[in-house]
Amino acid sequence: MAIHDATRCRLGPSAALLALGLALPWAAGCGESAPSCPTLDAADDGAGGDGEAGADADADADTDADADADSEVAAATCGNGALEPGEECDLAELGGATCASLGRTPGTLACGDDCRYDTAGCAVCGDGRCEAGETPLTCAAECAVADVAAGAVHTCAVLADGSVRCWGARDGHQLGGVGDVSRPVRVPGIDDATKVAAGEGHTCVAHEDGTVSCWGRSGFGECRSIAARVWPPAVVTELTGVTALAAGAHHTCAILGDGTASCWGRSDFGNLGNGTHPARSATPQAVTGLSGVTTIAAGAQHTCVAASSGVSCWGRNDVGQVGGNDRNWHDLPERPVTGGLRAFGVGNFHGCACIMMPSWPPSAQGLYCWGNNAYGQLGVAPSPDALSPTHIDMGCPQVLEGGDAFTCSIPAAPGPVLCWGGNSFGQLGDGTQLSRHATAEVLDVADAVQLSAGASHVCARLADGTLRCWGRNVEGQVGGGTSARHLPYPVEPVGL
C-alpha cells in the first residue's frame, strides 16, 4: 500500500518509513526532513464553531481534507516517471532495482500501474529454475522432488531443476555451509544434481556428468578428505559414470556405469568391501567381486547391493546385519540372498529382501529379513538377532527401506505406506508412539514412489513430486519447525 504525502504528514516521517519498509529519499540517518505538507484550514472547509462540538467538526473536516489530498497526491505522482516517496517505481524509473536485487531469477523487472514492482518477468515456471513462490504442484518441471535422502538427523532433496535443498542437522555442515535450519534451504553452487545420499554428518550428490561431490563431517574421509569439516563440496575425482549413491554413518558408496561399486570413508569394520580394513580411506576403493549391480543401500557400518544374482552385503556384522549366519565382520561381500530378488532395503542394523523364486513353493516366497530385532523391525515379535535371512509372513512390497530399528515399505498394489518396529519418535507414522512388529499404516500418505529413512525419521516422495516426512524432529529433520511429527508432514522444499 503506497503512503502519499498527506498521509506521511500525519504519520511523521519515521512512521511512514516503517509502514513502507523502505528508506525514503527524504529520510537519512538520524535526522529527517519531510517535504512540506498541505495546510488545511477548518474555516476554509466551512467547519467552525466553538467548544467540543466545534473541535469535532474541525477534526472531521481535517480528515476529509486529508483524504482529498491523498487522492490528489496519488493522481499527481504515480505515473509521472519520477520516483517519489511512497513509490517503489514509476514507469521506467526502477530506482536501481533489478530482478536479482529483489532475490528473484535474473529477468526483466517492470513497474506496475500502481507504482509497485512487477516481477512477472523475473521468475517464470519453465525458465529452468525452481524459485520462491513455485511449488511441485504449480511448477513440476523445475520444482518436483526427484530424489530424497534422510541422514541421521538431516534430510536433503534433489529437485527437478538439479538444485538441492537440505534441512535439519546438528552442526549445519551437512546442509551446505549454513547453520542448522528446520526448513529447507538451497545448497549454494549446485544446479546439476541427479542423486543424493545422506549419512550421519555428511552429504554427497551425483551430478549430471556422472561425478560425485560431498560436504560435511569428514574425519573418516567420507567426503574425499580427512578434514574435520568439508565445505565447499569436495569432488571425488577418482569416480566417473556414477549412477547411484548410498551413505552410511561414516562411509559412502557408489554404483558405476559398468555395474561395479566403490566405497570410501570409515573402514575398520570392512566397510570398503575389498578385503582390507584400515581405519579410513579418503580414496574410493573398488568392492571386490561385484558385477551387474543395480541398487545400493547402506546401514550404519555395513552396505548391501542388489544384482540379478541376489543381494550381497559386507561390513560390520555384530548383530547379523550382513546375513552371513555369523557375527564376524565381513571385509568382502557375503551373499545372504540369491536369485528371485524383487526388492530389498537396509536399516542401520538389519536388512530385508523380497524373494520370488518360481521353483519355490508359495509358502517359501515373500519377505525375508535378518539382523537385529529388538523392536520387531524384522516383522516378527522382538527376538534374538537373526543371523541369516528369516522368512516373514508378509506380502512382497515393491519398495523396502530401513531406519535405526524400524522398517517401511511401499506395497506392490496401490495402498498406504506400511511401517513396523520401533516407534519412540512416531517413525511408524500412525500417530502413536507404540512400537509393534505388525504393520502400521502410515496415515495420509498415498502414491509414494520412494522412501528414505534416517535414524528415527522417514520421508516419502509422492508421485506428484511432493514430499511427506514424519518421526523424530528434534533437530528439524522432518521440516517445518522442530515440534514432534508423529504424523506425516508436507515438506515444501521451495519458497524460503
- Judge if 359 and 422 occupy the same domain: yes
On whether residue 92 sits in a domain, the answer given is no
Average pLDDT over residues 260-282: 96
Domain CATH number, residue 362 = 2.130.10.30
User: Which residue's C-alpha cell is 513502507?
Assistant: 20
Q: What pLDDT was estimated at residue 59?
A: 41
Q: Between 4 and 151, name the one with better pLDDT.
A: 151
Average pLDDT over all residues of the chain: 84
Region for 348 from its dihedrals, namely left if φ exceeds 0, alpha if ψ lies in -120 to 50, beta otherwise: alpha
More confident residue, 75 or 90: 90
Clarify whether residues 168 and 39 are in a common domain. no
Q: Is there a domain that residue 96 lies in? A: no
Pairing between β-strand 261-266 and β-strand 280-286 as defined by DSSP bridges: antiparallel
Confidence category of residue 485, pLDDT binned at 50, 70, 90: confident
Question: Does residue 455 surpass a pLDDT of 90?
Answer: yes
Residues 34 and 159 in one domain: no
Domain boundary among 54, 87, 120: 87
Are 77 and 188 within one domain? no
Q: Which is more confidently placed, 121 or 345?
A: 345
Q: State the pLDDT at residue 347.
A: 98
Predicted TM-score (pTM) above 0.85: no
Same domain, 358 and 470: yes
Last residue of a domain, one of 41, 57, 87: 87
Beta strands in 40-171 (DSSP E): 110-111, 117-118, 145-150, 154-159, 164-168
Beta-carbon contacts of residue 288 (< 8 Å; ≥ 6 apart): 273, 274, 275, 332, 333
Q: Tell me if 134 is assigned to some domain.
A: no
Helix (H) / strand (E) element for 496: namely none
Same domain, 212 and 79: no
Task: Grade residue 46 by pLDDT with cuts at 50, 70 and 90.
Answer: very low
d(CA 221, CA 281): 6
pLDDT in the model for residue 176: 64
Query: Would you say residue 116 has pLDDT above 90?
Result: yes
145's enclosing H/E stretch is: strand 145-150
Q: Give the rounded percent of residues in the chain with a pLDDT score beyond 90.
A: 63
Average pLDDT over residues 275-287: 95
Answer yes or no: is 128 within a domain: no
pLDDT value, residue 493: 57
More confident residue, 126 or 401: 401
Confidence of residue 174 (pLDDT cuts 50, 70, 90): low
* Residue 150, in any domain of the structure: yes
Answer yes or no: is pLDDT of 40 > 80.
no
Are residue 217 and residue 320 in the same domain, yes or no? yes
CA 108 to chain centre: 30
Number of domains in the chain: 2
Predicted local confidence at residue 177, as pLDDT = 58
Residues 79 and 164 in one domain: no
pLDDT at 299: 98
H or E element that contains 6: helix 5-11
Query: SS3 sequence, 247-286?
Result: ECCCEEEEEECCCCEEEEEECCCCCCCCCCCCCEEEEEEE
Residues 326, 448, single domain; the answer is yes
Q: How confident is the model at residue 123 (pLDDT cuts 50, 70, 90)?
A: low
298 and 436 together in one domain: yes
Cell of 191: 544446479
Instruction: Tell me how far apart the alpha carbons of residues 196 and 153 are, in angstroms, rounded to a whole number.
Output: 15
CB 119 within 8 A of CB 104: yes
**Tens of pLDDT along 366-417?**
999 999 999 999 999 999 999 999 999 988 999 999 999 999 999 998 889 9
Answer with the residue of higher pLDDT: 339 or 266.
266
Tell me the HSE value of 116 on the side-chain side, using a 13 A CA sphere. Answer: 7
Q: Do 235 and 325 share a domain, yes or no?
A: yes
Residue 147, in any domain of the structure:
yes
Please tell me whether residue 180 adopts helix, strand or coil conformation: coil
pLDDT tens-digit map of 56-72: 444 444 444 444 444 44
3 state DSSP class of 176: helix
Tell me if 303 is assigned to some domain: yes
Please indicate, yes or no, if residue 122 is contained in any of the structural domains: no
> How does residue 104 score in pLDDT terms, banded at 50, 70 and 90?
confident
> Cell for 200?
550421519
**Residue 103, pLDDT score:** 74
309 vs 45 pLDDT, higher one: 309
Q: Give the model's pLDDT for residue 163.
A: 96
Domain hosting 56: range is 5-87
Regarding whether 350 and 274 lie in a shared domain, the answer is yes
Query: 432 with 484: CB under 8 angstroms?
Result: no
What percentage of the chain exceeds 70 in pLDDT? 81
Last residue of a domain, one of 87, 117, 151: 87
What is the C-alpha to C-alpha distance for residues 83 and 79, in angstroms, rounded to an integer?
A: 9
Cell numbers at residue 392, please?
Answer: 516373514
